[in-house]
Chain A
Amino acid sequence: MQLDTPRRPGRGLARGIPAVLSVVSAFLIWEIYVRLSGISPLVLPAPSRVLDQIVLNRALLWDNTLPTLKATFAGFALSLTVAFGLSVVLDFMPRVRRALFPIFVVSQTLPLVAIAPLVVLWFGFDLTPKVLLVALVTFFPMLVALVDGYAATDPEIEDLMRSMGATRGQIFRSARFPSAMPYFFAGLRISITYAVVAAIFAEYVGARAGLGIVILNAKNSFRPDLVLAAVVISSTLTLILFAITALLQRVVLRWRDVGGNP
């Protein structure tokens, strides 16, 4: 009896066709509009022109992508560590959860426009403020996902483990943590899409290098084509990170992809 549903390799690609078509046609319409209307490239550059700028300024863009990537990764690593550490503390100590959770919620109400310059003021133009801002923006979705995920553990599985004589720690490791994984990945996908944008915003407010600085300088010298070139790079980074998360989810949550009842 073969119960595993075979995964047909072509199917994933075929499902992506509508998305590719819609994106391509949007750029086509944009390109055609710019050419037919004769609008100034200082107002709206055509996609082809943006692409040209990417090629022309590849050295500049590359040099400034690295600091942004560094801030993104460092910030996200901090965010992940803090979110996981806090989630464990909050799960084991409900009192602490009641005391601290409102603070975390308030931290998400702070307007980034106001808080980012202050963080730069306090921590300077180096990596630190960017790392902190990326972490501030991205930790909350993951924390909420983990805490909700722990709480969603099947009570019958916990009763069963208690009947086996399991300690609170064993129940957390074997039941609550794995139960939270689907939730965690939902939070991770949200967080990762904020990460690059948060790093760029932090740079925009104050930094020596980075895609945020490229955007700031390009805007100040009325170069919307170069602004958009940096935007394309930033979006590509986010898409790559998103794809990595999706891949990771596939591996970790493999049990959810198996076929249903025979």
Chain B
Amino acid sequence: MTALDIHNVSVTLGDTAILDDISLHVAKGEFVSILGPSGAGKSTIFRLLTGALRQNSGTITCNGQPLAADQHGFGFMPQRDALMPWRRIIDNLTLGLEVQGISRKQARTQVTPLLAAFGLDGFARHYPAQLSGGMRQRAALLRTIVQNRPVQLLDEPFGALDALSRTQMQAWFERRWHAARWTTLLVTHDVREAVALSDRIYVLSRRPARVIAEMHVPTPRPRHGRPVRAESHAIEAQLLEILLDQTGELL
């Protein structure tokens, strides 16, 4: 079943064409990545989905329903964690539920059992500034998940982390995802991350962004914690070739 369907969508801001006839879909329980060079307009797709922007043409449907301005079918995790520094971790986690009109007390009861799985046990009363980058990122992810939206949108969620924490977080995240199967759309410019996490990858061109390739990643899960399979390496190489042709530069 298709959870999200973006059909022939184009966006022009002023005179600049940002998205040019983009079509992509995400099935229920599927992990799909959008991979593209920096500034390609990957985040513009998220801005469309979160209602911050309207497309000039094309249709977007979520669970078969056209995306209305007042409909919020997505849990959104922004590039930086966007945790409110003045709220304790627990109060950051309940933000989405409070916005939905759930009382703070009830929201806390709902969130507290999930703390352990996200490695936040014992940190509920801490402020974001007291947590490491990886923990903050896990908190931001949990804040997204607890909203219980049909589709999770992750905008380069590990981009701000150092290389070691990033690898650690990807491994942790893949395990969590494997257990819960959230329908997920990830935006990234990290080829290895896309291959490590996704079922399917769309490659975007430089601006104006078009879909120039779609790749399946058949590597069995869980993928982390074992040697990287030859098939993953082959896909990474193929993706890099497509992307580097694009920018016309060699690494």
Contacts and interface: CB of A to CB of B under 8 A. Distances in A.
Contacts of B212: none
B86 to A, nearest CB: 5
B132 interface: yes
A111 interface: no
B8 interface: no
A4 B82 contact: no
A170 B84 CA distance: 14
A232 interface: no
A113 to B, nearest CB: 42
B127 A161 contact: no
B82 A164 contact: no
B228 interface: no
A44 interface: no
A181 interface: yes
B5 to A, nearest CB: 19
Main secondary structure of the interface of A (DSSP, over half): helix
A233 B146 CA distance: 57
A159 B129 contact: no
A255 interface: yes
Nearest to A4: B130
A164 B86 contact: no
Contacts of B52: 159, 162-163
Nearest to B140: A160
B251 interface: no
Residue of B50, B72, B80, B86 contacting most chain A CB atoms (<10 Å): B86
A126 interface: no
Nearest to B98: A174
A252 B56 CA distance: 45
B76 interface: yes
Interface in B117-159: 126-127, 129-133, 147, 153
Interface in B40-95: 50-52, 70, 72, 74-76, 78-80, 82, 84-87, 95
Interface string A200-218: 0000000000000000000
A256 B130 CA distance: 10
Contacts of B133: 261
Interface in A1-28: 3-4
B129 A258 contact: yes
A162 B70 CA distance: 10
A165 B84 contact: no
Contacts of A260: 129-130
B29 interface: no
Contact of B82 (A157, A255, A261): A157
A191 to B, nearest CB: 22
Contacts of A258: 126-127, 129-130
Contact of B99 (A170, A253, A255): A170
A154 interface: yes
Contacts of B99: 161, 164-166, 170, 174
Interface in A179-194: 179, 181
A156 B80 CA distance: 8
Contacts of A163: 50-52, 72, 74-76, 153
Nearest to A167: B99
Interface string A218-262: 000000000000000000000000000000000001011011111
A164 B147 contact: yes
A149 interface: no
B50 A162 contact: yes
A259 B130 contact: yes
Nearest to A253: B86
Contacts of A179: 86
Interface in A140-162: 154, 156-157, 159-162
A46 B176 CA distance: 76
Interface of A: 3-4, 154, 156-157, 159-166, 170, 174-175, 178-179, 181, 253, 255-256, 258-262
11 contacts: A163-B50, A164-B100, A165-B99, A170-B99, A174-B84, A174-B98, A178-B84, A181-B86, A255-B127, A258-B130, A262-B132
